[in-house]
Structure 1
């Protein structure tokens, strides 16, 4: 089941952080870059990020999270994370489908991921996104942005 998360509640922010840290540690290993900003988040930074969070729950356990911001006709995905214990269960797809179904009045979804994060790049391409640009952030990190018309 997918439901909105009140990220301003410290209990829920901690639950999200307990998904985010292990998920981004996997990405850090995949792209060989361990200074990812989401690994430095705290309950407090999540509470003040101004993103809208939705969680995928399996038997009352939070297993995956998507967070978005909306502006004009654009939905920007800021986080699409699944706990490593729940990889390959279709949770990311269900969260993405939820956003597409519930934000039909918007025209575009955009998202970025580490360019070397092959599973994420493959996921977005497989789900109808097209690559827009690659940006070198540091000597060791580049991000690829994707766009999908909905």
Structure 2
């Protein structure tokens, strides 16, 4: 079995740098008028500095689509709160196993780039 890892995952990665050091990353897939956020990661040293917000704002500006969707661990309260604060609504919860439940959220726009 051949494993390719991140280099062949077909996601687009965008990073946030401070003083040439990578502090946060967002990866997405775009399909028609939908952006699917696969990862939004901020280094723990840079928590609570607004980097996740900057990365989300960048995605919203760069890809003016009808829908942005994301999934995160249901117990990841900071992530769930972050997305809800930004207008995302729960669409589903899936029990993966006894330790993990995923929350799926999305944010719809009336027309490209306008929040609904």
Q: Which has the higher helix share?
A: 1
Partner of 1:35: none
Count the aligned residue pairs.
Answer: 107
Once the two structures are TM-superposed, the CA of residue 48 in structure 1 deviates from its matched residue by: 1.2
* Unaligned 5+ runs, structure 2: 110-116
Deviations 1:67-123 (A, max 9, x none): 00011211000000000010000000000000001111x100000000000000000
* Alpha-carbon distance between aligned partners in 2 of 1:132 and 1:141, rounded to the nearest angstrom: 17
Root mean square deviation, CA, Å: 1.2
Match of 2:14 among 54, 67, 72: 54
Once the two structures are TM-superposed, the CA of residue 132 in structure 1 deviates from its matched residue by: 0.7
Q: Which has the higher strand share?
A: 2
Once the two structures are TM-superposed, the CA of residue 139 in structure 1 deviates from its matched residue by: 1.8
Match of 1:124 among 60, 83, 86: 83
* Alpha-carbon distance between aligned partners in 2 of 1:94 and 1:84, rounded to the nearest angstrom: 16
Q: 2:101 aligns to what SS in structure 1?
A: strand
Partner of 1:73: 33
Q: 2:23 aligns to what SS in structure 1?
A: strand
* Unaligned 5+ runs, structure 1: 1-41
Deviations 1:6-45 (A, max 9, x none): xxxxxxxxxxxxxxxxxxxxxxxxxxxxxxxxxxxx9x51
Q: 1:85 aligns to what SS in structure 2?
A: helix
Consecutive aligned runs of 4 or more in structure 1 exceeding 2 Å deviation: none
